[in-house]
Amino acid sequence: MSTTIINVIIQIVAGAIGGNLFAKITQFTMGRIGDTLVGAVGGAIGGFVFQGLIGASGGGLDIGSVLLQVAIGAMSGAILTVFASLLLNPIDY
């Protein structure tokens, strides 16, 4: 498998985990399945945006690159989960 595919898989899994963890911590939730799916999509989107910003030279399978992919996937999955939760469940003041 190419390193790009492996990086995308890492970002999707990290996004799903990040979306679930952040939803559980902050109560911005759409249910476990919704948080997982939105987090995975957020991880993939965040990874593609990041790869577009740094170019093709940023990917690899060394420990630094893998940890960076995990961090990007988890953060972008959490961010998209919060936005989707707020969109579907607006806060009433």
Q: What is the DSSP string of the chain?
A: --HHHHHHHHHHHHHHHHHHHHHHHH---S-HHHHHHHHHHHHHHHHHHHHHHH-GGG--SSHHHHHHHHHHHHHHHHHHHHHHHHHHSPPP-
- In which residue ranges of the chain is pLDDT below 50? none
pLDDT of residue 56: 54
Tell me the torsion sign for CA atoms 20, 24, 87, 74: negative
Contact at 8 Å (CB) between 28 and 91?
no
pTM: 0.86
**One-letter amino acid of 21:** L
pLDDT of residue 81: 94
- The token pair that represents 80 in the structure block: 């998209």
pLDDT of residue 4: 79
Contact at 8 Å (CB) between 19 and 41?
no
